[in-house]
Amino acid sequence: MDKSPDAFRTISEVAEDLDLPQHVLRFWETRFNQIKPMKRGGGRRYYRPQDVELIKGIRHMLYDQGYTIKGVQKLLRENGNQFLIAVGNGDMAAVEAISQRRQADAVPLTQAAQPRGPDDEMLVGQPRVKPSRRFFGIGKTDEEGPVPPDTSKLSRDNRALLQEALFDLLECKRLLDQVR
């Protein structure tokens, strides 16, 4: 028996419909505050129809378009849930309308401000820095001599990058521990 389009779906139904493992849906709940399934006794999750539509859009942007989680989070911040729901449904007219409304609401660029190119954080596989054998500025390339002891300290930006990576790894460990 098929459910009505307005019926709530269990995590297993959503996972099967979208060809995603259940643990991915649980992980996305931690990364996207907009996904808020109802939780019932025994921890069962029930997704509202709009949650399922949003997850479709997130899945499309991550898997089909190659966006990173940070890139999709930025899209959600800038364009709202309806944008990703429209993307997930393939409703290009709604996507265009939302994009045009966003552009109309934006502050016009002054002569001094130049439009930026595509955001490097948005797509997977785009290196952000020139590749080398150095790790966070520590180490040496073939052209350089030994690194003096006073220059081997991490900059504030590199320390923040390491801290972010550490938090991501700890979150992954927490999720793995929950599954065990």
pLDDT at 147: 52
Burial 135-172 (b: 16+ CB within 10 A, else e): eeeeeeeeeeeeeeeeeeeeeeeeeeeeeeeeeeeeee
Q: In what order do the strands lie in the sheet with 45-47?
A: 9-10, 45-47, 38-39
Question: Which pLDDT band holds residue 118 (cuts at 50, 70, 90)?
Answer: low
Cα dihedral: 144, 150, 153, 155 (round 10): -80
Q: Any idea what DSSP says for residue 63?
A: I
Q: Reply yes or no on whether the pLDDT at 111 is more than 70.
A: no
pLDDT at 51: 92
**What pTM, to 2 d.p., does this model score?**
0.55
